Amino acid sequence: MIYDIINVFKNLPSNHLNHTLITLTIVVFLLIIRYKVIKYNFHFLDILLGFLPIIIELIFQIQSILYREWELIKTLPLEISYLTSFVIPIYLYKPSIRLQSWLYYIGIWSAAAAFLNTIMTGVEPWYLILRYYGHHGILLYFGISIYIKGYRPTLKDYYKTSYIMLFTIILIGLINTMFGSNYMFTRYRPSGMNLSVLMPSWPYYFFIIIAIGLIFCALLYLIGRDRLHKPVK
């Protein structure tokens, strides 16, 4: 089993590895600029990055229409990561513990899943690459940024976030049933070389993916809780 997992990682598209390294480098650079160079007091960068997913999504949708690739069943931003990135402007306008916990848990989990495990094949057009790595890079930036600013996850936050995540998945699953789409992979496995190829067929792989997400978020809770900190403005 371990050999099979290693083999999956070894066979990830080389372009994915390159784009992931570039994205992570940019995220680390932006975090250093935001919290070391400009000393926590510069919010313009957060605002710019917070609205960037909307711009990226508009570019993707327009390009999909121009190249006649737009389809209701696969082009809408109904993956949990894309939906989460649209929460960022709301959080910047009116911060709350619920939004912070959602961006911390789901933002970091979505980014980690996208970078460690991909649905990309290595031959996607530039606007799909921009969408995939742009959204997930920004989610990772804000997930870490929220922690740096002083948010600390609680068990209550974990449970609430898990309930909302499961409700969202059920809702998207109903949409998939109505239109024949596969957002959040509720109907069949994601394409490409990823860990789902090692999982049993539907519906078992889907429950395994959910379980992995819940376990990962539980680890985020254990890592981030109960630390003395000084909140950052």
Span 41-69, average pLDDT: 92
Q: Is the pLDDT of residue 8 over 90?
A: no
In this predicted model, which residue has the larger pLDDT, 228 or 13?
A: 13
- Quick one: pLDDT at residue 108? 97
Q: Mean pLDDT in the chain?
A: 90
Q: Is the pLDDT of residue 160 over 60?
A: yes
- Quick one: pLDDT at residue 79? 96
Q: Is the pLDDT of residue 4 over 80?
A: no
State the pLDDT confidence band at 183, using cuts at 50, 70 and 90: very high
Q: Is the pLDDT of residue 166 over 90?
A: yes
In angstroms, what CA-CA distances link 202 with 83, 119, 174, 196, 208? 24, 17, 16, 10, 10
Q: How many CB atoms lie within 10 A of CB 105?
A: 28
State the pLDDT confidence band at 29, using cuts at 50, 70 and 90: very high
Please state the pTM of the whole predicted model.
0.93
In angstroms, what CA-CA distances link 30 with 16, 33, 34, 136, 165? 21, 5, 6, 14, 28
State the pLDDT confidence band at 190, using cuts at 50, 70 and 90: confident
Tell which residue, 150, 151, 113, has the closest CA to residue 135. Answer: 113
Q: Is the pLDDT of residue 193 over 80?
A: no
Span 203-211, average pLDDT: 92
Percent of the chain whose pLDDT exceeds 70: 94
Cβ atoms 52, 85 nearer than 8 A? no
- Quick one: pLDDT at residue 139? 98
What is the DSSP annotation of 138-150?
HHHHHHHHHHHTT
- Quick one: pLDDT at residue 232? 45
d(CA 145, CA 211): 26
Map out the domains of the chain as residue ranges: 2-224
